[in-house]
Amino acid sequence: MNSAPTEFKMFPLCDWNYEQIFVWYKHVDFFTIVRAFEPLEISIGIEKYIVGKGKMAFIGSGKEYDVIQSGSSRGFALTFTASFYEKSISDSILLNSELFFDAFQSVQITDTSGDEADFMKIINRTKNHAHQVSDLVIHNCIESLLLDGMQRIKLNSNLQDYGSVPIRGVVNAFSIMVHKHFKEQSNVQFYADKLHVTPRKLTEMCLAIWGKTAKTVISDIVLKEALRYIKHTDLSISQIAYEMGFTDESNFRHFVKKCTGNIPMSYRQIYAL
């Protein structure tokens, strides 16, 4: 497998190599679509997801995962960056949808509309094209898989409504906004204003869906991104603090220690052991 960073990569699951994938994308957030021809398991931390035969799994950016195959290890994984796929507003909507940012689970698993042969027809479209048109062909193939997944998502009918908008939709939008703006904004009021709710209502909805306050949701996302930088980059702690939007390195060190019990450098050393 080529270890050079790229905007798009497709490979059979028999070639899956956890360490190689995350070294390859060390400094890049990427999205993944997994198509299972045989049952497999996807793990993200302590979370485990079973992907049945003929299913698709959608994994959003910033999530470090492992694929554990059972049986014959048959299937494909497609990885791509937002900058590669996003060509229009509709593309952004798909990437920022519950396919990749679900309120309840880190991996969205759906049925598919075709069998293995149908999927291979889609995959084969990405091959043997002139360089100048290949990106567009690949984009269209990814789009067809995303649209298929979106059509098959079943919303939880038991969710309450807040006005005409389901609570789940509001908190999903909140999560997406935080992932995009956390480096500049950590104030609940900023996100509440954009969602046209009060900070109190936003916290009530976060508590109803996630059992966390809106402020805690923001902190958790910031911490997750900070630890990803600490564990998987060679940047200095000062550089990471700057990348994360902290104006002072000491504030960043205090934030990490408060959340983890360790200062950033100690956390990096512990992870390296």
Domain extents for the chain? Answer: 8-152, 161-272
Summarised one tens digit per residue, pLDDT across range 15-59 is 776 666 665 555 567 899 999 998 999 988 778 899 999 999 999
Q: What is the reported pLDDT for 138?
A: 84
Comparison of pLDDT for 140 and 158, the residue scoring more: 140
Q: What confidence score (pLDDT) does residue 213 get?
A: 94
Question: Cα-flanking dihedrals φ and ψ of residue 224, to 5°?
Answer: -55, -45
Domain 161-272 fold is Arc Repressor Mutant, subunit A (1.10.10)
Q: At what angle do helices 264-272 and 214-232 cross, to 10 degrees?
A: 60
What tokens were used for 47?
């979370």
**Beta carbons within 8 Å of 89's beta carbon, 6+ residues apart:** none
Judge whether 110 and 56 are in contact, CB under 8 Å.
yes
CATH number of 8-152: 2.60.120.280
pLDDT digits 0-9 by tens, 221-273? 888 888 878 887 778 899 889 888 898 899 999 999 998 888 889 888 876 65
Q: Please give the order of strands across the beta sheet that includes 8-12.
A: 8-12, 75-80, 31-36, 56-59, 107-110
pLDDT in tens, 151-183: 777 543 334 444 445 677 788 778 878 877 888
Query: In this structure, how many other beta carbons lie within 10 angstroms of the beta carbon of residue 27?
Result: 10
Asked whether 244 and 229 are in contact (CB, 8 A), the reply is: yes
Neighbours of 121 (CB within 10 A): 11
